[in-house]
């Protein structure tokens, strides 16, 4: 380690001040972009939507790291995109770019030599150019079909040198592009799930109720004429904490749960002589088997219930699920 860089004079107070100052400067830089979301931004979105190829995102240094993330975000939200290193493009990778593509080039100064070297070649073959710079009068901005101004008043670095606020602003502007594009394409949760099949995200978005529910044969059910005592015995053997009351066609009439049993005791109902339809909860909540499991979670949270029946469009019982089933499937 360079002796001059040893933290001999570290001050916790100074570190906290700089941390807060950095966040404040970068937040201001992002907020300032809102006033620039105008015609050029809309033109950039329209240009990409009309592209028959892919979005090629490129940049050098820190801008290159931001460019990789923007390409990744676009690709995962319905806009085919990938990153090309501008220096590598000059040594063969330029062949990856076609006339049907759009090049999104990032450079805070707008004078990146590696990018400017490939711009004439890109334009010669007919590809369109969107430049994202912090300098509207720069060479790259002038050469672009569309220019997006990501300029900042100052870097968060105390010496105003290290790319900090400028890279944050570029990243935020790239996210704004990706979000506007996904909305224009009608890109929804199921599309997102197809792009993210792995891990908990894909599991939450791809899992349907039919994948986690207990089948009809595992759900205790009785008729409306059944006595409460017999219904309680059926409920105890089901492991769901409920029993479903069905009509002769298998349609759900009601439900009786552990909570209903406690309430019946509080009302001093004679359970030995009562029929289940006199104490059941009529019109229980249900969900279709083709709905997403996360929708079942939302319903259970909204109505503060621990179990949910699964029924077809005619109200016939198909199965049920509870919180434990959803936890086991890692949906929640």
- Taking the CB of residue 279, how many other CB atoms lie within 10 A of it? 19
Token digits for 86? 């501008």
Per-residue pLDDT at 214: 94
Identify the burial level of 134 via C-beta atoms within 10 angstroms of its C-beta, where 0-12 means exposed, 13-18 middle and 19 or more buried.
Answer: buried
Q: Which two tokens stand for residue 109?
A: 């100064």
pLDDT of residue 197: 58
pLDDT of amino acid 108 = 96
In which element (H, E) is residue 201 found? helix 199-206
- 36: Cβ–Cβ under 8 A, 6 or more apart, which residues? 148, 149
Residue range(s) in the chain whose domain bears CATH number 3.10.580.10: 209-328
Position 3 scores a pLDDT of 52
SS3 273: coil
Question: Among 215, 189, 182, which Cα is nearest to 294's?
Answer: 189
Q: Model pTM?
A: 0.65
Q: What is the per-residue pLDDT for 269? A: 86
> Which residues does the chain have with pLDDT short of 50?
1
**CA-CA-CA-CA torsion sign (168, 169, 174, 180):** positive
CATH code of 209-328, in short, is 3.10.580.10
Q: Which two structure tokens, joined as six digits, stand for 285?
A: 């909540």
pLDDT of residue 6: 59
Q: How many CB atoms lie within 10 A of CB 187?
A: 18
Compute φ and ψ for 183, nearest 5 degrees: -65, -45
Q: CA 40, CA 47: separation in Å to the nearest integer?
A: 10
Place of tokens 């994948």: 211
Please give the DSSP secondary-structure letter assigned to residue 276.
G
Q: Which H helix or E strand runs over 15?
A: helix 12-33
For CATH 3.40.50.10490, list the domain ranges present in the chain. 12-187
The region, left, alpha or beta by phi > 0 then psi within -120 to 50, assigned to residue 251 is beta
pLDDT at residue 125, rounded to an integer: 85
- Which superfamily does 12-187 belong to? Glucose-6-phosphate isomerase like protein; domain 1 (3.40.50.10490)
Are the C-beta atoms of 176 and 74 separated by less than 8 Å?
Answer: no
Return the pLDDT at 95.
78
Residue 136: per-residue pLDDT: 95
């Amino acid at each position: 380690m360079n002796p001059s860089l040893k933290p001999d004079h570290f001050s916790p107070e100074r570190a906290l001040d700089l941390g807060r100052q950095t966040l404040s400067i970068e937040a201001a830089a992002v907020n300032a972009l809102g006033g620039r979301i105008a015609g050029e931004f809309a033109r950039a979105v329209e240009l990409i939507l009309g592209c028959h190829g892919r979005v090629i995102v490129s940049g050098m240094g820190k801008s290159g790291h931001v460019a990789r993330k923007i390409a990744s975000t676009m690709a995962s939200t319905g806009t085919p995109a990938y990153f090309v290193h501008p220096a590598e493009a000059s040594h063969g990778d330029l062949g990856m770019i076609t006339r049907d593509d759009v090049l999104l080039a990032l450079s805070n100064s707008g004078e990146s030599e590696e990018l400017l070297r490939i711009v004439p070649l890109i334009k010669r073959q007919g590809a369109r150019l969107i430049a994202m710079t912090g300098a509207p009068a720069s060479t790259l901005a002038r050469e672009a079909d569309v220019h997006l101004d990501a300029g900042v008043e100052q870097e968060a670095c105390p010496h105003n040198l290290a790319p900090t606020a400028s890279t944050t602003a570029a990243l935020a502007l790239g996210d704004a592009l990706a979000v506007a594009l996904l909305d224009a394409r009608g890109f929804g949760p199921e599309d997102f799930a197809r792009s993210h099949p792995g891990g908990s995200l894909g599991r939450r978005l791809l899992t349907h109720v039919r994948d986690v529910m207990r089948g009809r044969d595992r759900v205790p059910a009785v008729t409306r004429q059944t006595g409460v005592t017999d219904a309680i015995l059926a409920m105890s053997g089901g492991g769901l904490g409920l029993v479903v009351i069905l009509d002769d066609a298998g349609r759900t009439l009601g439900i009786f749960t552990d909570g209903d049993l406690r309430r019946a005791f509080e009302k001093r109902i004679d359970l030995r002589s009562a029929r289940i339809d006199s104490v059941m909860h009529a019109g229980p909540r249900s969900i279709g088997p083709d709905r997403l499991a996360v929708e079942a979670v939302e319903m259970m949270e909204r109505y503060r219930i621990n179990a949910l029946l699964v029924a077809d469009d005619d109200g016939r019982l198909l199965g049920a699920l509870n919180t434990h089933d959803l936890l086991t499937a890692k949906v929640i």
